[in-house]
Structure 1
Amino acid sequence: MPIRVWDYLPEYAEERAEILDAVDTVFRSGQLVLGESVAGFEREFAAYHGQPHCVGVDNGTNAIKLALQALGVGPGDEVVTVSNTAAPTVVAIDAVGATPVFVDVGEDDFLMDTSLVEAALTPRTKALLPVHLYGQCVRMGPLERLADEHGLAILEDCAQAHGARHLGRLAGTMGHAAAFSFYPTKVLGAYGDGGAVVTSGEETDRRLRRLRFYGMSDRYYTEETPAHNSRLDEVHAEILRRKLRRLDDYLEGRRAVARRYEEGLGDTGLRLPATVSGNEHVYYVYVVRHPRRDEILEALRSRDIALNISYPWPVHTMSGFSHLGYAAGDLPVTERLASEIFSLPMYPSLSRERQDTVVQALRDVLAKL
């Protein structure tokens, strides 16, 4: 069978009984919307992070959007972030009427280059939005200092970093709020869309609960707009409750796969992931780099190995964001990475046999370049 960069079926085979029991639990509960499964997951996910509040929402994009709104970001404001990210990060900024301002990323770790952030600040800057990319955290110290000095909000994009740590602190506990995605491919993934915002702020929590539910605190009375329906589904919440208990096992499984890649590919021409000092990487994706990336991918496709590029187009080069006025060459590291990076299969249930097949195929292809 073809080898894909991600596959949920081995995990489902192992956890099927528990997943189906989660579904049955919701269907027998008598409440299908904002019931005990959502409330329970919110309590448990908040507790995992040592935070007082978690608000479940319908997807990771809206987690960012609603968190920005709850932090007071809106039209006329600027949000400093990166272009080397999934488009939803920036779509959410645009959705609240704010303007994304991009800084470049590091050559080795592909994360926000925090040394560039201060120069990007203007009187309109309202928030910093670091993206904990590929499974590890941005260096948060410089951002925290800038936020304190300039009165800025920090919203962490943790869609790719469930369980990652920076200097002992969990991703999602270093800003004023943190947005998570539970899209099925994520480290902690639902069986469909889902998201959440974690925060220590009581008012932020209150606003988030209104904003995900038509701006209402009580049914039928809207207190603030713009707001819409962004509730986390009960079924996905109950599945996430079960999977949250396994999260640390998932992390160890991913790290084991990463160790085997390092052993099998460390002496090839591939540039393997570099872990930032003080970080505990969770390997949401295993991103490698090679200047002849496209030739490698084509050769692997001929062997029924389909890999992925995360991401082939920097956000600032997309036509949907041409109004921001960025030009080719404005973010040279980000643009260079887009032509060289690609992702190897990475999920905890990836068998040794299939991983060995990928490693050997890569070694064969690289030896012929």
Structure 2
Amino acid sequence: MPDVHSNLPPSASKMWISCPPSAALNAKAPDSDSSYALAGTLAHSIGEAKIRQALGEDISIPECTDAEMAEATDQYRDYVLEQIEAARASCRDPTVLVEQRVSCERWAEGCFGTADFLLISDQTLHICDLKYGQLEVSAQDNTQLMCYSLGAIDAFASLYEFTEVKMTIFQPRLNHCDTCTKTVEELLQWGDTVLKPAAVLALAGEGAFCAGEHCRFCKVKQTCRKRAEYNLALARYDFAMPPELTDDEIEAILAKADDLTSWISDIKDYAMQQALSGKHWSQWKLVEGRSVRKYTDEAAVADAVTAAGFDPYEHKVLGLTAMTKLLGKRKFEELLGGLIHKPPGKPTLVPISDRRAEWNTAKNDFMED
């Protein structure tokens, strides 16, 4: 199948639904294959092959030298197989589809993608999306999964009688698995009232620019004026000290703090890349940064120190992450599960929409006393 790119990719749907004119700008911007994206692509290929092989297909698994990726894709395969077995308990012959192309053309021209895993059993359609990254993704009102769901509904609703859709984000590297369930009617209504109008604007390059959390994956975020206006709005507080601000002002600043930090970082990165490409800024220049001494040959260093009668090595137990990589998650739990202690985390301030239980200050004050 030719490599065809979607004009309105479901993976970027949060962005072009929230900020319709960003779609045209991103379509013109070049793609950048980061190491993270390449790792994600490989993990998906390995996970797909492992599932197909487990289902009886004669298929080879791509070579993988990364122990963490091998373990993560094993977990993904096992999760998928567990869902299939659970479905078979109530449905004699559930439909299993791996890497299934789905299209939302009915609601958004040029909106199509590939769902990692589809499972249809009796009244339920289950869609699972593997995320290999380490930025936690929620399944709750996840527009990418909702686009996939609409595509699957359009393709299979006439053949099956499912009435609800389970949408799951599976992130093995974070031990994160989140599921959101919606009725077919809810999804169709969202497609008609939210997705379709946004797609019309996006394809026409119309609508209002809107900055927010969705800017994270925008290709033109560094030079976007609306994003600059959004973040520079904090300047109206004139960097007043907290006691001088009202509660409403502090909450308004907190709501933008993370976006502001990210924006500043993006501006610095953009200015640096422009300078490295030959641009001369009027008030900024490139200089050589701080350098750290390094051994030219660690083996030779070890030999020289050993010959002098000293021990050149540090001796300490591997950290949890390194030990998990060494043993694999299953072996790690088998050998060390009873030797791991996870103390309570320190309090952190998050939006009220965060699904974690609220910190009980009275209870913790009592425990400290």
Shared fold (TM-score greater than 0.5)?
no
TM-score range, shorter chain: under 0.3
Q: TM-score, normalised by structure 2?
A: 0.22
Q: Give the number of the structure whose residues are more often strand, by fraction.
A: 1
Question: Per chain length, whose mean CA-contact separation is higher, i.e. which structure has more relative contact order (CA < 8 Å, sep 6+)?
Answer: 1
TM-score norm. by structure 1 comes to 0.22
Larger Rg: 2
Give the helix-richer structure, 1 or 2.
Answer: 2
